[in-house]
Amino acid sequence: MKIPLLTSTLYIFILIHKKFMQILKLLSTALFFSFICSADCLANGADDSPMLIGYIGHPRVVSHYNDIIARTYSKLGISVEFIEVGGERGLRLLDEGVTDADTIRYELAANDFSNFFVVHPVIAKGATILLCMRDSPCVANILSNPKIAIAATTRFNVNTDHCGLVITADIREYDRFDQVVNLLVSGRYDYALLPTDFSDEATFKNLGAQHLVIVEHDIVHVVNNKYLHLQEDLSEALSAVLKEVNAITTRN
């Protein structure tokens, strides 16, 4: 039996419509699952590449804080890769989105940049200290003597300015922590302004150094704004890791 032309056209239209609706349904499903994608998917992208996390080459960062941050992201199913960066340079790389996060920074560092955010809770308490070598006088007025040369890590002034301290000594800035320490040990300088989390008392003693706390700071993890959607998850994961670390410390 022949199907009238109009009926045949209508039949073909119905078939095409059904096929279109099936495709639309598949697309909708794909978009839905894409929307509810896990933190790993959202953070690492389609190529599943790890998040690039910068860190300052301080022994304590390498031996302790990098592990805390790696465990934090692991709880969210996110892989990470660490890359050593300088003090000032590292912050600029993070602000420009070249790196995705920075292991730890003093919280006030975030005040000068607009493209990364702080993850709470505070990881530790830290400070900027004056380190004094070879029985050199270790008093605050050293900082106001223009005849005394003091080695310092970059951004030391940002770390001290907010406390109202005026420093008129001859400050020589270096981007790497180990550079400053090596110059101190070699005898190039007798004084340095350095960051600490108060865990290196034994190191100072072995160097025969005294130290004076100039100003205390909160130490935090910072992340580029493109991961702002992970802020709450990161905060919860970091809190859990810090509780685990503190529990181990208490047992020991």
* pLDDT, tens digit (0-9, with 9 covering 90-100), for 72-128: 999 999 999 999 998 889 999 999 999 999 999 999 888 889 999 999 999 999 999
Give yes or no: residues 173 and 145 share one domain: yes
Strand extents, DSSP E, 133-209: 149-153, 170-174, 191-196
Task: Confirm whether 19 is domain-assigned.
Answer: no
pLDDT at 54 over 50: yes
Compare 87 and 5 and report the one with higher pLDDT. Answer: 87
Task: Confirm whether 95 is domain-assigned.
Answer: yes
Out of 18-27, 121-130, 230-239, which region has the weakest mean confidence (pLDDT)? 18-27
Question: 116-132 and 191-196 as β-strands: parallel, antiparallel, unpaired?
Answer: antiparallel
Distance CA 195, CA 153 (A): 8
130 strand-pairing partners:
193, 212
CA contacts within 13 A on the Cβ side of 251: 6
Query: pLDDT tens across 122-150, in order?
Result: 999 999 999 999 899 999 999 999 999 99
pLDDT at 25 over 70: no
Reported pTM: 0.77
Q: What is the CATH number of the domain that holds 84?
A: 3.40.190.10
Question: 101-106 and 80-84 as β-strands: parallel, antiparallel, unpaired?
Answer: unpaired
Give yes or no: residues 228 and 196 share one domain: no
Give yes or no: residues 195 and 156 share one domain: yes
Q: Is 114 exposed, middle or buried (0-12, 13-18, 19+ CB in 10 A)?
A: exposed
Contact yes or no for 184/194 (Cβ under 8 A):
no
Task: Confirm whether 9 is domain-assigned.
Answer: no
pLDDT value, residue 27: 47
pLDDT value, residue 9: 52
3-state secondary structure (DSSP) of residue 50 = coil
CA contacts within 13 A on the Cβ side of 206: 5
Residue bearing tokens 């009926």? 7
pLDDT at 19 over 70: no
pLDDT value, residue 155: 78
Tell me the residue range of the domain where 185 lies: 127-218
Give Cα separations from 226 to 44, 45, 141, 203, 231 (angstroms). Answer: 11, 12, 44, 38, 10
* 99 Cβ contact list (under 8 Å, min separation 6): 52, 53, 54, 83, 85, 90, 93, 224
Chain centroid to Cα 227, Å, comes to 12
Give yes or no: residues 165 and 207 share one domain: yes
Give yes or no: residues 142 and 225 share one domain: no
Confidence of residue 16 (pLDDT cuts 50, 70, 90): low
pLDDT value, residue 46: 46
Please count the structural domains in the chain. 2
Query: pLDDT tens across 147-163, in order?
Result: 999 999 887 777 776 66
Give yes or no: residues 131 and 213 share one domain: yes
Mean confidence (pLDDT) of the chain: 84
Task: Confirm whether 171 is domain-assigned.
Answer: yes
Mean pLDDT, residues 35-40 taken together: 42
Residue 101 phi, psi (nearest 5): -160, 170
Task: Confirm whether 15 is domain-assigned.
Answer: no
